[in-house]
Chains A and B, each alone.
Chain A
Amino acid sequence: MHPLLLANHLIMLAGGIDGDKRPLSGSEKWGVTLVGLGVVIAALAILVVVIMLFGKIFDQINKSQRPKSPPPAKPKPKPASTPAKPSAPVKAKPAPTVPVPDSSNSENEEEVIAVISAVVAMMSEQDGKTYRIKSVAKSRNTSLSNRSAWAMDGRRQNVKPF
């Protein structure tokens, strides 16, 4: 088919082809095929560019946000006086405060801090908020027969159904 004839028919396609019982002419068939495929590829190629662009923008935003919060794996615990407290509220129900072992057992202390940091990092990933661990301190709450916070929480869960 002559390219000019095809181009002419492509321009006519802008007005649409009648869907009646008339068989299609050669240029109409080729016109719809080429224009159709071209438009679909062009539309999705635009989406490729836009989504790639968005991906880059979001990557930049995420990168610029990261340095603002210190990595959760390396918290700097303050002296034991201040209770552990996240910078933003985590849940309506407060998490039990974890008692830290004696300062003489520094290896255990580091392990506990690492576990707390990992849990906070996981929470941060789940709800998209950034948390900062300001301190990890030994609980002073001994009013409930010296039970640990975990033991108290386990007990509370067991009795809750009743």
Chain B
Amino acid sequence: MLQILQDILGGLWETSGLAGLAADPMKLLMMCVSFLFMYLAIVRKFEPLLLLPIAFGMFLSNLPAVLPEDMIFHAEYWNEQQSVDWLWKVLHDGGLLDKLYLGVKLQIYPCLIFLGIGTMTDFGPLIANPKSFLLGAAAQGGIFFTFLAAGYMGMSAAECGSIAIIGGADGPTSIYVSSKLLDGANSNLNTGTIALAAYTYMALVPVIQPPIMRFLTTEEERKIKMPQLRTPSKTEKIVFPVVVTLIVALLVPSAAALVGMLMFGNILKESGVAGRLVDTAQNALMNIVTIFLGVSVGATCTASNVANWDFIKVLILGVIAFSLGTACGLLLAKFMNWLSGGKINPLIGSAGVSAVPMAARISQQEGAKADPTNFLLMHAMGPNVAGVIGSAVAAGVLLSVINY
């Protein structure tokens, strides 16, 4: 009798979370990191809409469990070669967060987020000043120069592409590219760590960009006032998404999914006849996808994925990519300013990285610091939204060049 009781208690202990914690004490450390993130989100209000789901996802996936069927998230599944059998295993044996993470891995969330962004974006400043497209293109230099740097660090093509795309300062695009290129078998990196780095740097735009902007521009350049933009007609705004989608799809078909959804959202908005759909896409749908994306990306932050040298390399190269993108946009804007005889404020070039609308806001703030009567926001919005299209095109190029 005593032996039976002892066996039962022993069995309970072996399957308990406490035994799991004793077997893997790093989980405790990761849970403490998740508590820190929760503190930053709730008390310090640091990007709470994104950071809180990520933090709680991290907490859930690091809860100690011994039996695989008790786990909410299985980090090991995502390091395996992906196939139909693998997909069935995830659906059949996976935990709730595994199933939600499929939306990331199958590139559903990034495209839906682009749809929502499209319904919230006004391409008017870009239509009024199409030269802004060039600034959006130049800022993608950060992606390709980082690809080069990652290549010289001995990384594979898939890893180089996945890290370099962080330079586009576009979370959904980073997820889209890395989820296609990284399949667990060809790299130690995974989509979750790329997404975490991308969103970290997007939140740090106000910290990273201003020193580079001040370093590469003179006081006189920052004071340049730009003339008011013309107001495009409604017809132009409706034609724009169709034309952009067509041209991008013809040139870089791999970018068609991202650009297509962005422009679909935009035509819904600009047409003015689908108010209910616009309302859903920019509120309910966007919020639902953000919750799923945040909690499932947070779930990938297990000790084995984050506490290693590869993740540190991603962080280092990510900040290089971001800084290079900012610098490339600024330098082209300086060149355009020189060509135009001093009519373009170079500060709008840094907005070519597609962190919308934060990057444009930083251009406005820096311009206003130099001259409080200088209003650059609408001029910076042009390169900013061009950057979204530019990073999607750059993503398409990487996916076309690298076999996955």
Interface residues of A (CB under 8 A from B): 13, 16-24, 28-30, 32-37, 39-48, 50-52, 54-55, 58, 62, 128
Q: Are A40 and B397 in touch, CB under 8 angstroms?
A: yes
Min CB–CB distance A21 → chain B (angstroms): 5
- Report if B29 contacts A (CB, 8 A): no
What separation, in Å, do the CA atoms of A74 and B126 have in the docked complex? 35
B154: Cβ under 8 A from any A Cβ: yes
Q: Are B248 and A43 in contact (CB under 8 A)?
A: yes
What are 11 A-B pairs with beta-carbon distances under 8 A? Answer: A19-B158, A19-B186, A23-B154, A35-B397, A36-B147, A39-B393, A43-B252, A45-B133, A46-B247, A48-B131, A54-B236
Whether A44 and B134, one on each chain, are in contact in the complex, defined by CB atoms closer than 8 angstroms, is yes
Q: Contact string, B193-221, partner A, CB cutoff 8 A, digits 1/0?
A: 00000000000000000000000000000
Q: How far is the CA of A40 from the CA of B160 in the complex (A)?
A: 18
Q: Which of B133, B143, B157, B234 is the one whose CB lies under 8 Å from A47?
A: B133
Q: Is the CB of B130 within 8 A of A55?
A: yes
- Complex Cα gap A34–B401 (Å): 12
Using known A-B contacts A33-B145, A44-B137, determine if residue A51 contacts B130 with beta carbons closer than 8 Å.
yes
Quick check: B252 and A48 within 8 Å, CB to CB?
no
Binds A, one of B16-24, B67-75, B97-105, B237-245: B237-245
Interface centre among A23, A42, A52 (most CB of B within 10 A): A23
Write out the residue numbers on chain A whose beta carbons fall within 8 Å of the beta carbon of B155: 23-24
Contact between chains at B158 and A48 (CB < 8 Å): no
Given pairs A19-B403, A128-B233, 20 additional interface contacts (CB within 8 A)? A19-B156, A19-B186, A19-B404, A22-B156, A23-B155, A29-B151, A29-B152, A35-B401, A37-B141, A40-B140, A40-B397, A41-B138, A43-B252, A44-B134, A44-B137, A44-B389, A45-B134, A48-B131, A51-B126, A54-B239
Provide the B369-404 mask, 1 if CB < 8 A to any CB of A, else 0.
000000000000000001001100110011011111
Closest CB-CB distance, A46 to chain B, in whole Å? 6
Is B247's CB under 8 angstroms from A43's CB?
yes
Flag whether B148 is at the interface (Cβ < 8 A). yes
Asked whether any CB of chain A lies closer than 8 Å to the CB of B144, the reply is yes
A50 to chain B, nearest CB (A): 6
* A48 and B130 contact, Cβ closer than 8 Å, known pairs A18-B157, A23-B151, A29-B147: yes
B97 to chain A, nearest CB (A): 26
- B residues less than 8 Å from A20 (CB atoms): 156-158, 186
Q: Identify which of B157, B187, B233, B251 contacts A58 (C-beta below 8 A).
A: B233
5 A-B pairs with least C-beta separation = A19-B158, A29-B151, A44-B137, A51-B130, A16-B403
A141 to B144, CA, bound (A): 74
Task: Determine if B235 is an interface residue (Cβ-Cβ < 8 Å).
Answer: yes
Which residues of chain B are within 8 angstroms of A17 by Cβ–Cβ distance? Answer: 157, 401-403
- What is the interface of chain A mostly: helix, strand, loop, or mixed? helix
In the complex, A43 Cα to B53 Cα: how many Å?
Answer: 37
Given A17-B403, A51-B243, A58-B233, decide whether A39 and B138 contact each other with a Cβ distance below 8 A. Answer: no
Size bracket, chain B contacts? 35 or more
B interface secondary structure, majority: helix
**A-side contacts of B233, CB under 8 Å:** 58, 62, 128
Known contacts A51-B130, A52-B130; is-contact A45 B137 (Cβ 8 Å): yes
In Å, the complex CA distance between A54 and B242 comes to 12
Nearest Cβ on chain A to B112's Cβ, whole angstroms? 24
* A46 engages B251 (CB within 8 Å): yes
CB <8 Å contact, B234 and A128: yes
Q: Which residue of A lies closest to B123 (CB)?
A: A51
C-alpha spacing A105/B397, complex, angstroms: 72
Confirm or deny: B320 has a beta carbon within 8 angstroms of a beta carbon on chain A: no
User: Which chain A residues border B403 with CB–CB below 8 Å?
Assistant: 16-19
Interface positions, chain B 172-192, Cβ under 8 Å from A, are 181, 186-187
Bound CA span A43–B236, Å: 20
Q: How far is the CB of A65 from chain B (nearest CB, A)?
A: 11
From A24, A42, A128, B160 is in contact (CB under 8 Å) with A24
Asked if B402 and A19 sit within 8 Å, CB to CB, the answer is yes
A36, A45, A58: which has the most chain B beta carbons within 10 Å? Answer: A36
Chain B 153-168 interface 0/1 with A at a Cβ cutoff of 8 Å (1 = within) = 0111110110000000
CB distance from B299 to the nearest CB of A (A): 24
Residues from chain B with a CB closer than 8 A to the CB of A36 are: 143-144, 147, 394, 397-398, 401
Contact call B130/A21, Cβ cutoff below 8 A: no
Query: What are the residues of chain A within 8 A of B25 when measuring CB–CB?
Result: none
B357 at the interface (CB under 8 A from A): no
A13 to chain B, nearest CB (A): 6
Q: A16-B402, A30-B148, A51-B130 are in contact. Are A43 and B158 (CB under 8 A)?
A: no
Residue on A nearest B149 in the bound complex, by CB: A29
Cα–Cα, bound, A51→B51 (Å): 38
Q: Is the CB of B171 closer than 8 A to any CB of chain A?
A: no
Which of these, A19, A30, A47, A128, contacts B130 with CB under 8 Å? A47
B127 proximal to A (CB < 8 A): yes
Output the nearest chain A residue to B240 by Cβ-Cβ distance: A51
Distance from A60 Cβ to chain B, minimum over Cβ atoms (Å): 12
- Provide the bound-state CA to CA distance between A128 and B137, in Å: 34
B136 interfacial by beta-carbon distance below 8 Å: yes
